[in-house]
Structure 1
Amino acid sequence: MSTIKKLLLSLFIITIISVTGIYLYSINRTFPNDKELRGNTAGNLYNGGLFCEKDGRIYFSNDNDDGSLYVMNSDTSKYKKIHPDKATYINVDENYIYYIRANNTRENNPDIFFMFNNTGIFRINQNGKNLKLISRNPGSYLTLKGNLVYYLNYKVNEGLYLYRNQTDGEFERLLLKEPVIPAAIIDNKLYYISEKKNHSINYMNLSSFTTGVHIEGNFAYPIFFDNYIYYMDLSNNYSINRMNLDGSDPTVLVNERCSTFNITNSGKYLYYQVDDKDNSKICRIDLTTMETKVLLDGHYKQIHVTDNYVFFKDFDNKNTYMVSADGSSKVEPFNPPNLSKDNDSKTSK
């Protein structure tokens, strides 16, 4: 073999080794996030985390395909199936999707008897490849902030406690031996409601891991938004209220018994479900004028917001609806296609 051929062969081998090394490094590498990145809004996560918007795309759990993980454009066009898992508590960053696998709750589950395979916390690339296990145990209220994920995790010998893990799943830490729901992470403090302390808003310092009471009260589902905390007041018939971040100037916004609510990304409207037997209804209130509008009479749940739309479901899970987030109050059915037959063979298992 001539010297030139040997040189070319050596260069070819070096190139193959380099490309392979870069490929393997990219697969196994976890790309870092900005420390202030938030994976989904608190309002969406309180409602199940079934929709999450990132960079003009909406990732969602498609009821028409038994809850499988899908993505669509922000104008609800161009649907794509990402993974056949039933996905809840969806969070998204620049590279990955994080979600709770809830296959044990789906209607058509061939592996229903293998419960260890049907739950867990996972991360997957946005192209549907490289599924990675974060935690094998059943979880809920998954929340991504920066390069850390927070979640409730159930362990048989321990119970339902609050944990934290890195986004690569390599360092799980028990934070609280309570089933608390992360409400906000601001200035390295985790805010949450504690059932042991009369539903006050508490905090954990994430440097010292010490806890304290931020605002005493009887609250549920606090949403920290701009200069306010929106919440349900359990001492006042589950009405919806807001107060300043320090707890001052509490104001009643909806003086009816409610079961859930959410706030549009613009902060213009608050959508809420009134839970009052025959007078039940889903409504919205203009937070500037305080004018209210009834959207539909009846029982609805799981209100999710994106930049352009608000999605919600009827109570028996038969239908999902959508309405303009900050515009028309006309309600339309949200009826995405079932791409199961087309995409299952292309999806990472």
Structure 2
Amino acid sequence: MAKIRNIIIIILITVAVGAAVVVYFYLNMIPEVDPTVGGNTTGNLYNGGYFCEMDGKVYFRNNYDNGCMYSMNVDETDIKPVTTMNVYFISGNGNYLYFYMDSQHLSLSTSGIGTTVKYYGVYQCRLDGTKQKCLYRGRTAAQAMCGNYIYFQVKDANGGSLLKIKNDKTNLTTISDEYIDPCGFCDGKIYFTGVTKDHNLYMMDTLNGDKITKIADGYIFYPIYHDGYIYYMDAVDNYHLKRMELSTMKVEKLTNNRVECFNLNDQYIFYSVAESLTPALHVMTLDGSSDVAVHQGIFFNISLTSQYVYYTPAKDNTRMYHMPIDGSQPPSLFNPME
């Protein structure tokens, strides 16, 4: 009987250990995602990827804590730290966040021997900041989550290149020897500006072997695809904001001012004007009408969530302003440390 009891105990222990192993691998498995889905909006990524909204939460770079990542509800409640190092180009999908992280700037609450270790590169973590993993170690630049891959720029002596790596840290691939900006991802396609030979508008099909096709000639910068149009800054025309209808290639001029940066959602375009007697943050509808200056000054890093627009002053990037998208309140300082 004792022998049978021991065998039963061994079997139960084996089953329990096996189940624990299965649960562990399931919880740590990186699930496959829709290859046409990105991890942030193009406009947010062009503005440094400071803010990323996902499933009712906002993950953001906190300028008041050396650029470390924090999370909060979309109404700016329940603010919590996520990383102890500064981040850029935040994206997310499912239970994971992706970003560039650098230990050059640490959280004000960080101390000890860990502060002497240098970390930098393309990182992944859980939504609460745990399970941090470096997918690619290096001084990278712009990056975007494109389906199951992170596309990112790597600077080198020849200018730079575009690489990609799968979200499970496999399949590291050099896509192009050009320093292509991957932030213009939408529905499986990356819209980008030529770098080496010209500054035309191109499209990279990430679902078809990253095949590249030219869309239009010109000096077309920061292209954002939205509802059949490409919105962009025209370098030939003093960086005025324009939009091109892809079905007809018809171009409309949206501003008479030089634009420093811009972002958009389904209703509005927010853009910054510096070269003017009255530099300001402006907002207008998608066709360029109802243009209004909402905050005087020179601003950058315009980021949008479903409820707020965030932006930083040009001469002090440790501060940040915010304003409801609908204009129901005037601009004010956004300090998540208060």
TM-score when normalising by structure 1: 0.87
Partner residue, 1:97? 97
Partner residue, 2:308? 309
- Contact kept in structure 2, 1:218 and 1:234, CA below 8 Å: yes
Partner residue, 2:318? 318
- Contact kept in structure 2, 1:42 and 1:183, CA below 8 Å: yes
Q: Distance in 2 between matches of 1:247 and 1:197?
A: 26
Question: What RMSD over aligned residues (CA atoms) do the two structures have, in Å?
Answer: 2.6
Letter in 1 for 2:309: V
- Secondary structure in 2 matching 1:337: coil
Task: List aligned pairs for 1:21-40, cutoff 5 A.
Answer: 21-26=21-26, 28-40=28-40
Partner residue, 1:80? 80
Q: Distance in 1 between matches of 2:3 and 2:268?
A: 74
Partner residue, 1:283? 282
Partner residue, 1:65? 65
- Secondary structure in 1 matching 2:261: strand
Matched, 1:261 2:238: no
- Pairwise CA distance, 1:212: 3.1
- Contact kept in structure 2, 1:184 and 1:224, CA below 8 Å: yes
Assess, with a 3 A threshold, how the Cα gap between structure 1 residues 318 and 277 changes in structure 2: closer, same or farther: farther
- Pairwise CA distance, 1:10: 2.9
Residues 135-185 of structure 1, C-alpha deviations (whole Å, 9 max, x = no match): 1011122111211111102357x6521111111121111111111212534
Partner residue, 1:252? 253
Q: Distance in 1 between matches of 2:288 and 2:156?
A: 47
Assess, with a 3 A threshold, how the Cα gap between structure 1 residues 216 and 271 changes in structure 2: closer, same or farther: same
Residues 110-139 of structure 1, C-alpha deviations (whole Å, 9 max, x = no match): 89xx99823200000112221111110111
- Contact kept in structure 2, 1:137 and 1:154, CA below 8 Å: no
Letter in 2 for 1:255: N
- Pairwise CA distance, 1:277: 5.3
- Contact kept in structure 1, 2:186 and 2:225, CA below 8 Å: no
Single out whichever of 11-20 and 225-234 deviates more from structure 2: 11-20
Assess, with a 3 A threshold, how the Cα gap between structure 1 residues 81 and 8 changes in structure 2: closer, same or farther: farther
Q: Distance in 2 between matches of 1:3 and 1:209?
A: 62
Partner residue, 2:296? 297
Residues 28-53 of structure 1, C-alpha deviations (whole Å, 9 max, x = no match): 42111122221001100000001000
Q: Percent identical across equivalent pairs?
A: 27
Letter in 1 for 2:228: N
Assess, with a 3 A threshold, how the Cα gap between structure 1 residues 104 and 259 changes in structure 2: closer, same or farther: same
Aligned length: 333
- Contact kept in structure 1, 2:45 and 2:183, CA below 8 Å: no
- Contact kept in structure 2, 1:148 and 1:165, CA below 8 Å: yes
Q: Distance in 1 between matches of 2:42 and 2:154?
A: 18
Matched, 1:337 2:337: yes
Task: List aligned pairs for 1:191-206, cutoff 5 A.
Answer: 191-206=191-206
Single out whichever of 196-205 and 233-242 deviates more from structure 2: 196-205
Unaligned 5+ segments in structure 1 are 339-349
Q: Distance in 2 between matches of 1:277 and 1:327?
A: 23
Q: Distance in 2 between matches of 1:325 and 1:100?
A: 27
Unaligned 5+ segments in structure 2 are none
- Contact kept in structure 2, 1:269 and 1:326, CA below 8 Å: no
Partner residue, 2:47? 47
Assess, with a 3 A threshold, how the Cα gap between structure 1 residues 297 and 187 changes in structure 2: closer, same or farther: closer
- Pairwise CA distance, 1:303: 0.2
Single out whichever of 173-182 and 26-35 deviates more from structure 2: 26-35
TM-score when normalising by structure 2: 0.90
- Secondary structure in 2 matching 1:98: strand
